[in-house]
């Protein structure tokens, strides 16, 4: 059973996302957030004493989704292509999630408005161990003799960037409709093919 407190906090976060996206962190008011969330200012301050603390929670919520990839270990008994395709499918599922895209659009907009928000975002990313999951997978593949990657961090960024170029950035920056299943399949196929072409270990 969902607790009343959890419902209130969720309503606050949803309201804050809308208001931050519209007004920006600096111009947004706690009063407006409490009104839209349907809670008293006392309740709002109980959970989130400042706008900055609320924004921090929203950033953490967005970035925490990235931890999905960190749970995928490299398996030397399974083909690299099959493993990489499975990773890409999970990543694309996240990138295409409407909730994740809304969070990302709001956070990125605020980071462009404010140096402080951008600094907070960078700090959160650096603290998030999960975002290094693909890099760890690549290193494990290299250690197993299946991949030949001199710079795993760069290879990881290249792979994710190839996916985002089709299923994420067009939707975030110019508000295109969500990527179709065909577009998702194409993005995954191309990203995997590029990675294997560059980094697969020759037999």
In angstroms, the Cα distances linking 130 to 58, 65, 125, 141 are 17, 9, 9, 18
144 in the same domain as 73: yes
- In a shared domain, residues 26 and 86: no
21 with 74, same domain: the answer is no
The lowest-confidence range among 33-47, 49-63, 157-171 is 49-63
Distance CA 174, CA 1 (A): 39
Q: Give the count of domains, the chain.
A: 2
pLDDT at 1 over 50: no
In this structure, what token pair is assigned to residue 43? 């309740």
pLDDT of residue 69: 56
Mean pLDDT throughout 173-185?
93
d(CA 144, CA 148): 10
Q: Do 39 and 22 fall within a single domain?
A: yes
Q: Are residues 97 and 27 part of one domain?
A: no
* Residues of the domain holding 167: 58-199
Q: Indicate if 133 and 164 belong to the same structural domain.
A: yes
Domain match, 34 and 121 both? no
CATH code of the domain in which 183 resides: 1.10.357.10
Q: What is the pLDDT of residues 55-103, one digit of tens each?
A: 888 888 877 766 655 568 899 999 999 999 999 999 999 899 888 888 8
Q: What is the pLDDT of residue 59?
A: 83
* Residue 76, SS3 per DSSP: coil
Residue 126: pLDDT band (50, 70, 90) is low
Say whether both 73 and 171 belong to one domain.
yes
Per-residue pLDDT, 98: 85
Domain boundary among 31, 49, 67: 49
In a shared domain, residues 35 and 81: no
Torsion of CA 119, 122, 128, 130, to 10 degrees: 160
Diameter over CA atoms, the chain: 66
CA–CA distances in Å: residue 131 to residues 66, 67, 106: 6, 6, 20
DSSP 202: P
Q: Is there a single domain that holds both residue 174 and residue 111?
A: yes
CA-wise closest residue to 159 among 106, 77, 51, 84: 84
What number is the average pLDDT over the span 183-200?
A: 97
> Residues 202, 145: contact at Cβ < 8 Å?
no
Same-domain status, 20 and 95: no
């Amino acid at each position: 059973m969902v607790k009343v407190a959890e419902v209130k906090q969720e309503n606050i976060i949803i309201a804050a996302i809308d208001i931050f996206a519209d007004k920006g962190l600096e111009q947004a008011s706690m009063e407006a957030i409490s009104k839209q969330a349907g809670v008293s200012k006392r309740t709002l301050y109980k959970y989130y004493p400042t706008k900055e603390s609320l924004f921090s929670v929203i950033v953490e919520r967005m970035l925490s989704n990235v931890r999905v990839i960190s749970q995928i270990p490299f398996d030397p008994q399974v083909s690299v292509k099959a493993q990489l395709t499975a990773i890409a499918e999970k990543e694309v599922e996240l990138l295409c999630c409407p909730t994740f895209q809304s969070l990302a659009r709001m956070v990125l907009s605020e980071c462009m408005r404010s140096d402080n928000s951008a600094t907070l975002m960078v700090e959160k990313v650096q603290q998030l161990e999960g975002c290094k999951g693909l890099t760890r997978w690549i290193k494990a593949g290299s250690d197993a003799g299946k991949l030949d990657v001199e710079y795993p961090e760069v290879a990881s960024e290249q792979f994710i960037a190839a996916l985002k170029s089709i299923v994420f950035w067009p939707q975030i920056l110019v508000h295109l409709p969500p990527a179709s299943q065909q577009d998702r399949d194409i993005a995954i196929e191309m990203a995997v093919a590029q990675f294997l072409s560059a980094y697969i270990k020759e037999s």
